[in-house]
Amino acid sequence: MRSRNVASAAIAGLVAVALAACGSNTQTGDNGNANAPTTPLQTTSGGAGGDVGVFTWWAAGSEKKGLDALEELFKQQYPNDKFVNLAVAGGAGSNAKAKLASDLQNNQPPDSFQGHAGAELMDYIDKSQIEPVNDVIKALGGESVFPKDLLDRLTVDGNIYSVPSNIHRANVVWANTAVLKKAGINEVPKDLKAWMADMDKIKASGVATPLSVSGTWTQVQLFENVLIADLGVDGYSGLFDGKTKWDSAEVKQAVADYKKLLSYANTASDGDDWPVATDMVIDGKAAYNVMGDWAVAEFNDKGKKQDQDWTWFATPGTDGVFDFLADSFTLPKGAKNPGGTKDWLMLIGSAEGQKAFNLAKGSIPARTDVPASDFPAYQQGAMKAFKEDKIVSSIAHGAAVSLAWNADISTAISKFYASKDENGLVSDLAAAAKKNQG
């Protein structure tokens, strides 16, 4: 079980205690009373009826395909309910999160919203904006179908606050095979230095911007990849519990490496969304893009085939590490149709829902009982990596830091994009940590 001030600790150390509190009939009840048994979930066949407004940022293009798959199944399984799509465009919730915050503040919550497992979810829990969904998790099978360590990230004081839909990996380089071939590159670079040497070769072969980037949150994600490469798993995870200093020599090295990487990249506008950068790889205008594995959906959408058109590898220096994030869905306090929300959550958490959603989204199921053989090669590899690799939490996608801390890091990264002032970035990052670390 997690208490309210350890939200961003690394997954591994948290597992054991977590589920002792949330898998049995001593599970916490809806009011946070650890001794109250969970009231069994009440459902109506065909659904509770009424509108179910679902808030996400999966509004367009390949992002929307996963949501569409869920909507389709929801219609079939809950014909009494009406799915209302409240999506707000902008990758990583870059626009959606501000709208959500104001709707929650004004007591106008949707019936369910997308939130990241980990520190971000804690924000909503701390503000008492979401309700426990212990009954839904229990009805879905609890720890017999969800990984214990993942449930832990959704749990506070014995209550589970959301239903996980998927797991994404954020430390992946997507590459255009033809561009690599033309530059004579046929090996995966083992570290950042080797990777940058390959970028020199790619430049020499005629591609001016070997690496593609988009708006600020994609830069935060790229920087987090460099931090993992330069600090290692323990050093990186220590950034969130105070064990690693944000102005340490290792972070300074990461800032220098990040600056050098940007020198190989295109010029992005603040608001460019991620498909702009991924499409540069698809179109051969860049060799590489560091992106979460929602990129798989973009390659599929554009009819591109793994190995033939694109390939992937863990960001150099992070092999054997899985930079983790998970989307999950909530029951907001004051939701107009809690019965309909629970129908939605049951669909999100079902094996059928997870298969349909993740096949379209590029992610892997949060459930452990959806057969790997139902998925294409990339996702089969990601499932294996999630089991075997060391897990770290993504900064850009709400697993490692709170919304406020993420906003401060994003401001610092955006400023750096213009200034390229290394000392300035280090001191902004250190100030952000001091302000936000609990």
Q: Within 13 A of 411's CA, how many CA atoms are on the CB side?
A: 12
The answer to whether 305 and 96 are in contact (CB under 8 A) is no
Q: Out of 325, 370, 399, 426, which residue is the one contacting ligand GAL (CB under 6 A)? A: 325
Residues 294-323 contacting ligand GAL, CB under 6 A: 294
Give me the 66-105 binding string for ligand GAL, x by CB under 6 A, dash otherwise: -------------------------xxx------------
Contact between 53 and ligand GAL per CB under 6 A:
no
Helical ranges in 133-215 per DSSP H: 134-140, 148-152, 177-182, 192-204
DSSP letter (8 states) at residue 31: T
What does the block give as tokens for 381?
A: 């590899």
Q: Which is nearer to ligand GAL, 237 or 406 (CB)?
A: 406
The answer to whether 12 and 321 are in contact (CB under 8 A) is no
- State the minimum distance, in angstroms, from the CB of residue 325 to ligand GAL: 5
Q: Which is nearer to ligand GAL, 297 or 412 (CB)?
A: 297
Contact between 63 and ligand GAL per CB under 6 A:
yes
DSSP letter (8 states) at residue 400: S
Q: Out of 138, 168, 342, 367, which residue is the one contacting ligand GAL (CB under 6 A)? A: 168
Q: How many CB atoms lie within 10 A of CB 45?
A: 8
Contact between 327 and ligand GAL per CB under 6 A:
yes
Point out the residue whose Cβ comes nearest to ligand GAL: 91
The answer to whether 344 and 194 are in contact (CB under 8 A) is no
Closest-CA residue to 3 (of 23, 25, 24, 28)? 28
Q: Out of 292, 338, 340, 349, which residue is the one contacting ligand GAL (CB under 6 A)? A: 292
The answer to whether 310 and 37 are in contact (CB under 8 A) is no
Contact between 213 and ligand GAL per CB under 6 A:
no
List, as one string, the DSSP characters of 56-67: -S--SHHHHHHH
The answer to whether 32 and 156 are in contact (CB under 8 A) is no
- State the minimum distance, in angstroms, from the CB of residue 418 to ligand GAL: 24
> How many residues bind ligand GAL, per CB under 6 A?
14
Window contacting ligand GAL (CB under 6 A); options: 57-65, 103-111, 373-381, 382-390: 57-65
Q: Which is nearer to ligand GAL, 47 or 275 (CB)?
A: 275
Contact between 153 and ligand GAL per CB under 6 A:
no
Going by their DSSP bridges, the two strands 390-393 and 321-329 should be labelled as parallel
Q: Out of 397, 400, 409, 412, which residue is the one contacting ligand GAL (CB under 6 A)? A: 397
- State the minimum distance, in angstroms, from the CB of residue 400 to ligand GAL: 13
- State the minimum distance, in angstroms, from the CB of residue 63 to ligand GAL: 5
Q: Which is nearer to ligand GAL, 2 or 397 (CB)?
A: 397
Q: Which is nearer to ligand GAL, 62 or 209 (CB)?
A: 62
Q: Which is nearer to ligand GAL, 58 or 236 (CB)?
A: 58
Residues 263-282 contacting ligand GAL, CB under 6 A: 274
Edge-to-edge strands, sheet with 172-176: 211-212, 288-291, 172-176, 310-314
Distance CA 321, CA 315 (A): 9
DSSP letter (8 states) at residue 332: B
Phi, psi (deg, nearest 5) at residue 401: -130, 155
State which amino acid sits at residue 132. Answer: P
Chain residues in the site for ligand GAL (CB under 6 A): 57-58, 63, 91-93, 116, 168, 274, 292, 294, 325, 327, 397
